Structure 1
């Protein structure tokens, strides 16, 4: 094994999947997969973890003797400032909590019984909102479980 790209290509071929399938599972372009396999650039840390899961290989084995990839990851990690990391963490938490809060309020709204016209309209809007927030969560769970 000469380099990281050849290792990725060999692992992909051993699992008998195309670059297109890999790109779909990783939510990247097929060209990105091709660039990795041709050593034009390297995947980010999150993608490396997903690749190791996809190919059923430990990160240690995937990155063994790959100094260029490790240097690239180190550069990427060092490029994040602490304020950017804090923002990333806050937005990640909000992206997770806001739909859940919306679902809880939607359920509470739909469980209350009142016979006022504006309340019926609010219930319709609540139902649409509940579906709007629940469907992406369900799809994400389904997509993750099929990975």
Structure 2
């Protein structure tokens, strides 16, 4: 049985609509539909939330689904890149500041693009941290 089939089965056993499950997991109804139709795989945080919601172990939820195992491995390595990208973008901002101060050259377009990407990466990083802290405090 695929992960999507397991999610659909558990949702129906719990008497929840896709919309209700989406609200409980803080995702869109479309995400639930995508997962149930095996057109997408929840990230690790959502897998944990699904497991908690239905009282299933992660092992029972994902066992036997190779694509989920690959996604989990990819997600864990992707988190390391967020910190590296943030450091890189901060270095670029420092480089732009150096040119602005020492050479009186302000690269405003480059600065705006870099700050946009920096805030985007920080938002992802902070959102993930807050989510993990919320989950950890609920467990305690």
In 2, distance between residues paired with 1:36 and 1:9?
9
SS at match of 1:23: helix
Aligned to 1:57: 56
User: Which residues of structure 2 form unaligned runs of 5+?
Assistant: 87-121
SS at match of 1:39: coil
SS at match of 1:28: coil
Does residue 1:45 correspond to 2:44, yes or no? Answer: yes
Q: How many residues align?
A: 94
In 2, distance between residues paired with 1:48 and 1:36?
11
Deviation at 1:82, TM superposition (A): 5.5
Aligned to 1:14: 13
TM-score for both structures, normalised by structure 2: 0.59
In 2, distance between residues paired with 1:76 and 1:83?
11
Q: After the TM superposition, which segments of 4 or more aligned residues of structure 1 sit over 6 Å from their partners?
A: none
TM-score for both structures, normalised by structure 1: 0.56
**Partner deviation per Cα, 1:5-24 (whole Å, 9 max, x = no partner):** 11110111111111000000
